[in-house]
Amino acid sequence: MRIFVTGASGLLGSKITELATEAGHKVISGYATRTPDYGDIIRLDIRDEKSILKRIAESKPDTIIHCAALTNVDDCESNKDLAKKINTDGTKGVAKAAKNAGAYLVYISTDYVFDGLKGLYREGDKEAPINFYGHSKLLGEKAVISLNNEFLIIRPSIIYGARSASGKTNFALWILKSLEKMVTINILTDQYVSPTLNTNLAKILLEACEKKLDGIYHMAGNFRISRYNFAIRLAEIFGLDKTLIKKVKMSDMNWIAKRPRDSSLNVSKANMVLKTKLMNLNDSIGVLKEEIKLAARN
Ligand SMILES: NC(=O)c1ccc[n+]([C@@H]2O[C@H](COP(=O)([O-])OP(=O)(O)OC[C@H]3O[C@@H](n4cnc5c(N)ncnc54)[C@H](OP(=O)(O)O)[C@@H]3O)[C@@H](O)[C@H]2O)c1
């Protein structure tokens, strides 16, 4: 495949470009401010539609994986105009460019399109975002559906991985680093998610691209867990002191944006059709542990 990845410096994009390069695909890596490690690198602000259309036409990809987004939920709430420009209008631009290039488009959406009242959401469940991040990403989904014939929309839930990316840590890495330094951390007991290892998601995505899977698929960890219990399991598997993990509730948080209480996802649709499987809790943390060990050796 000849794959154009937007957001190639991000937590998911960096893993996709790494695995796609290793698998022998031609990779073109788009980024905004931080240079990606893999692929032919192209600086591309997705707020600039003209340049998206031009750069993607020049790159002639057969596949586009669109990961770029404003992912900070509170930033989206306090700067709605920026969130709209990046997450909605930027996605519209990428969708148009994919259509013009005749490329298969994969759009990475989010579990935050749901209101969190039900949990274990399936692909057919009604979307009802409760914050601007979710709203702006859902409008991105609608743009893809209306503009593209060959597309795949993926909804992960909180993504984590062995390395920081795009200038920031991630949920699992932050927990591990804090516990290693013996720092006490407050973790929510009443917010439920399906934590997604970036390596597992990147692998399954590449298989989905090869098969040109179409429609909407939930691709996340194959389990529902509170953030607190996830932190406890991480501590147990890594042999760290779990008494440093303190319980807090969503009502204790000083967030700008509301969060869904339970945005966990049912991933059985993807697990039924793909060879690569979305992993359970212990297996995914086991892979994370191996990856962190390997990274420390290099
Ligand atoms: N992280 C999660 O927990 C989570 C959960 C569900 C869904 N998702 C979705 O999954 C996708 C990947 O998330 P992630 O965590 O990998 O993201 P991330 O680490 O926050 O990275 C965001 C990426 O978007 C790029 N970007 C931001 N603004 C841009 C702009 N104006 N023009 C071009 N590129 C721009 C960044 O580039 P620079 O680094 O160069 O600035 C970076 O490569 C996103 O679409 C997100 O909505 C994420």
Answer whether 260 contacts ligand 1 (Cβ < 6 A). no
Using the predicted structure, report yes or no on whether residue 297 has a pLDDT greater than 90.
Answer: no
Residue-level pLDDT at 92? 98
Comparing C-alpha atoms, which of 47, 48, 53, 49 is closest to residue 4?
53
Ligand 1, closest atom to CA 112? Answer: 6
Identity of the amino acid at 154: I
Residue closest by Cα to atom 15 of ligand 1: 11
pLDDT confidence bin for 295, thresholds 50/70/90: confident
Domains of the chain, CATH where assigned: 2-164+197-223+265-280 (3.40.50.720)
Most informative mutation of 166, 263, 264 for ligand 1 (most atoms within 8 A of CB): 166
Answer whether 63 contacts ligand 1 (Cβ < 6 A). no
86 sits in the region (left: phi over 0; alpha: psi -120 to 50; else beta) called alpha
Sequence-ordered alpha helix ranges (H) in 80-153: 80-83, 90-101, 132-147
Most informative mutation of 12, 85, 137, 265 for ligand 1 (most atoms within 8 A of CB): 12
Burial class of residue 239 (count of CB atoms within 10 Å of its CB; 0-12, 13-18, 19+) = exposed
Average pLDDT value for residue range 72-80: 98
Dist. CA 189–CA 185, nearest whole Å: 12
133 CA to centre of ligand 1 in angstroms: 12
Helix (H/G/I), strand (E/B), else coil: 280:
coil
CA atoms within 13 A on the CB side of 207: 14
Comparing C-alpha atoms, which of 155, 156, 162 is closest to residue 234?
162
71 CA to centre of ligand 1 in angstroms: 6
Give bridge partners of residue 197 from the DSSP assignment.
Answer: 160
Ligand 1, closest atom to CA 166? Answer: 39
Dist. CA 64–CA 61, nearest whole Å: 7
Using the predicted structure, report yes or no on whether residue 6 has a pLDDT greater than 90.
Answer: yes
Residue 152 — φ and ψ, nearest 5°? -135, 130
* Interval 179-211: pLDDT, tens: 999 999 999 999 999 999 999 999 999 999 999
- Residue pair 262/119 in contact (Cβ under 8 Å)? The answer is yes
Answer whether 193 contacts ligand 1 (Cβ < 6 A). no
Answer whether 195 contacts ligand 1 (Cβ < 6 A). no
Residue-level pLDDT at 143? 97
* Interval 15-35: pLDDT, tens: 999 999 999 999 999 999 999
243 CA to centre of ligand 1 in angstroms: 32
**CA distances in angstroms from 285 to 14, 122, 252, listed in the order given:** 19, 24, 28
Dist. CA 168–CA 174, nearest whole Å: 10
* Interval 224-261: pLDDT, tens: 999 999 999 999 999 999 999 999 999 999 999 999 99
Dist. CA 258–CA 34, nearest whole Å: 29
Average pLDDT value for residue range 154-178: 97
Residues forming the active site: 133
191 CA to centre of ligand 1 in angstroms: 22
Share of the chain above pLDDT 70, in %: 100
* Interval 113-122: pLDDT, tens: 999 999 999 9
7 CA to centre of ligand 1 in angstroms: 5
The predicted model scores a pTM of 0.98
Q: Are strands 245-248 and 196-197 parallel, antiparallel or unpaired?
A: unpaired
Dist. CA 178–CA 174, nearest whole Å: 6
* Interval 79-105: pLDDT, tens: 999 999 999 999 999 999 999 999 999
**Look-up of token digits 């209101």:** 115
Answer whether 71 contacts ligand 1 (Cβ < 6 A). yes
- Residue pair 256/78 in contact (Cβ under 8 Å)? The answer is yes
Ligand 1, closest atom to CA 44? Answer: 33
Mean pLDDT (the chain) is 97
Residue-level pLDDT at 131? 98
pLDDT confidence bin for 298, thresholds 50/70/90: confident
Q: Are strands 104-108 and 63-66 parallel, antiparallel or unpaired?
A: parallel
29 CA to centre of ligand 1 in angstroms: 13
Dist. CA 256–CA 176, nearest whole Å: 26
Dist. CA 63–CA 23, nearest whole Å: 15
